Amino acid sequence: MIIKKINHWKSYISKLLYILTKRQKMLLVGLVVLAFISSILQTLGVYMISPLVSAMTDSDVFLSNSIIKRIAENSGTNDVRQLFGIICTLVALIYVIKEIVSVFQLWYAAKYGAKVQKELSEGVIRKYMYREYDFFTSYGTANIIRDVTNDTNAVYVILTCLSSLITEAITTLMIIIYIVVADVKMSIVVCLLAMICVFIMYRFFKNIMKRSGEEARVRYAENRKVLLESVEGIKEIQVMKKQNFFLQRYSETYQKTQAPQIKQSVATSAPTYVIEGIFVVGIMLYIGISASVDKSFFSKLPMLASLLVGAIRLLPSVGRISNNLNNINYYLPGLNNIFDVIEKQSRFTKNGLEDKIDSRNALPFNEKLELKNICWKYENSDKKVIDNLDLEVVRGQSIGIIGKSGAGKSTLADIILQLHIPQSGTIVLDGANIMDYPYEYSRVIGYVPQSIYLIDGSIRENVAFGIDENEVDDDKIWNVLKKAQLDNFVSDSENGLDTIIGERGVKFSGGQRQRLAIARALYREPQILILDEATSALDNETEKAFMQEIEHLYGQITMIIIAHRLSTVRNCDKVYEIIEGKAIEKNKEQIF
Ligand SMILES: Nc1ncnc2c1ncn2[C@@H]1O[C@H](COP(=O)(O)OP(=O)(O)OP(=O)(O)O)[C@@H](O)[C@H]1O
Ligand SMILES: [Mg+2]
Residue pLDDT, tens place only, 496-523 = 999 888 777 777 887 888 888 889 999 9
- The answer to whether residues 367 and 344 belong to one domain is no
Among 386, 401, 411, say which to mutate for ligand 1: greatest number of ligand atoms within 8 Å of CB. Answer: 411
Highest mean pLDDT among 49-58, 275-284, 532-541: 275-284
The SS3 assignment for 399 reads strand
Same domain, 560 and 478: yes
Asked which of 351, 376, 408 is the last residue of a domain, the reply is 351
Strand ranges across the sheet with 432-433: 384-394, 368-377, 424-429, 432-433
Residue 362 and residue 315 in one domain: no
Q: In this structure, are 174 and 269 located in the same domain?
A: yes
Q: Do residues 332 and 397 both lie within one domain?
A: no
Nearest ligand atom owner, CA of 138? 1
Tally of domains within the chain: 2
Tell me the average pLDDT across 82-94.
Answer: 85
Whether the per-residue pLDDT at 80 is higher than 60: the answer is yes
Is the pLDDT reported for residue 63 higher than 80?
no
Who has greater pLDDT, 484 or 66?
A: 484
Can you tell me the distance from the alpha carbon of 306 to that of 524, in angstroms, rounded to the nearest whole number? 78
Asked if 314 and 362 sit in the same domain, the reply is no
Residue 101 belongs to a domain with what CATH number? Answer: 1.20.1560.10
Asked if residue 264 has its Cβ within 6 Å of ligand 1, the reply is no
What atom of ligand 1 comes closest to residue 413's alpha carbon?
18
Of 98-107, 207-216, 316-325, 376-385, give the range with the top mean pLDDT.
207-216
Q: What ranges make up the beta strands (E) of 403-535?
A: 424-429, 432-433, 445-448, 528-532
pLDDT grade, residue 198 (50/70/90)? confident
Does residue 302 sit in the same domain as residue 366?
no
Structural domain containing residue 427: 356-591
Per-residue pLDDT band at 352 (split at 50, 70, 90): very low
Q: How far is the CA of 533 from the centre of ligand 2 (A)?
A: 7
Are 338 and 438 members of one domain?
Answer: no
For residue 212, the model assigns a pLDDT of: 95
Tell me the HSE value of 214 on the side-chain side, using a 13 A CA sphere.
6
On whether both 308 and 379 belong to a single domain, the answer is: no
| Ligand 1 atom closest to 533 (CA) | 27
Q: Indicate if 191 and 333 belong to the same structural domain.
A: yes
Ligand 1 centroid distance, CA of 46 (Å)? 72
Residue bearing the bigger pLDDT, 300 or 190: 190
Cα of 94 vs centre of ligand 1, distance in Å, is: 72
Residue 408, ligand 1, Cβ within 6 A: yes
pLDDT of residue 231: 93
Label residue 55 by pLDDT band (50, 70, 90): low
Q: How many Å lie between the centroid of ligand 1 and the Cα of residue 406?
A: 5
Q: Report the C-alpha gap between 191 and 318 in whole angstroms.
A: 10
pLDDT category, 335, cuts 50, 70, 90? very high
Nearest CA to ligand 1 atom 14: 408
Q: Which ligand is nearest to the CA of 449?
A: 2
Distance 385 CA to ligand 1 centre (A): 8
pLDDT at 346: 47
Instruction: Report whether residue 405 contacts ligand 1, using a CB cutoff of 6 Å.
Output: yes
Is the C-beta atom of 411 inside 6 A of ligand 1? Answer: yes
Say what the pLDDT of residue 348 is: 44
- Mean pLDDT over 64-78 rounds to 78
pLDDT score of 216 more than 90:
yes
Is 410 near ligand 1, meaning CB less than 6 Å away? yes
pLDDT at 356: 56
pLDDT at 347: 44
Same domain, 447 and 545: yes
Cite the DSSP H helix spans in 233-300: 234-240, 243-293
> Residues 268-284: what's their mean pLDDT?
85
How far apart are alpha carbons 337 and 326 in whole angstroms?
19
For residue 451 and ligand 1, the question of a CB distance below 6 A is answered with no
| Most confident stretch, 181-185, 241-245, 470-474 | 241-245
* pLDDT tier, 57 (very low <50, low <70, confident <90, very high otherwise): low
Q: Which of 519, 353, 346 is nearest to 439 (CA)?
A: 353
More confident residue, 57 or 500: 500
Residue ending a domain, among 331, 351, 371, is 351
The CATH number that applies at residue 563 is: 3.40.50.300
Nearest ligand 1 atom to the CA of 138 is: 1
Length of the chain: 592
Q: Which residue has the higher pLDDT, 564 or 384?
A: 384
Tell me the average pLDDT across 56-82: 75
In this structure, the answer to whether residues 364 and 342 fall within a common structural domain is no
Mean pLDDT of 563-591: 86
- Would you say the CB of residue 381 lies under 6 angstroms from ligand 1? yes
Q: Give the contacts of 469 (CB within 8 A, at least 6 positions apart).
A: 460, 461
How many Å lie between the centroid of ligand 1 and the Cα of residue 98? 66
- Nearby residues of 63 by Cβ (< 8 Å), 6 or more positions away: 69, 72, 78, 80, 83
Distance 435 CA to ligand 2 centre (A): 24
Chain-wide mean pLDDT for the chain?
A: 86
Residue 519 has a pLDDT of: 92
- Distance, CA 236 to ligand 2 centroid (Å)? 22
Question: Model confidence at 152, in pLDDT bands (50, 70, 90)?
Answer: very high
CB contact set of 439 (below 8 Å; sequence gap of 6+): 353, 356, 357, 360
Pocket mutation for ligand 1, best pick of 385, 386, 414, 560 (most atoms within 8 Å of C-beta): 385
Please tell me if the CB atom of residue 449 comes closer than 6 angstroms to any atom of ligand 1: no
Q: Give pLDDT tens digits for 418-444.
A: 999 999 999 999 989 998 888 889 889
Quick one: pLDDT band at residue 350, thresholds 50, 70, 90? very low
Which of 351, 380, 403 finishes a domain? Answer: 351
For range 340-351, the mean pLDDT = 62
The ligand 1 atom at the shortest distance from the C-alpha of residue 408 is 18
CB 423 within 8 A of CB 415: no
- Cβ 563 under 6 angstroms from ligand 1: no
The answer on pLDDT for 302 being more than 70 is: no
The pLDDT of 25-39, averaged and rounded, is: 86
What is the torsional sign of CA 506, 510, 516, 517?
A: positive
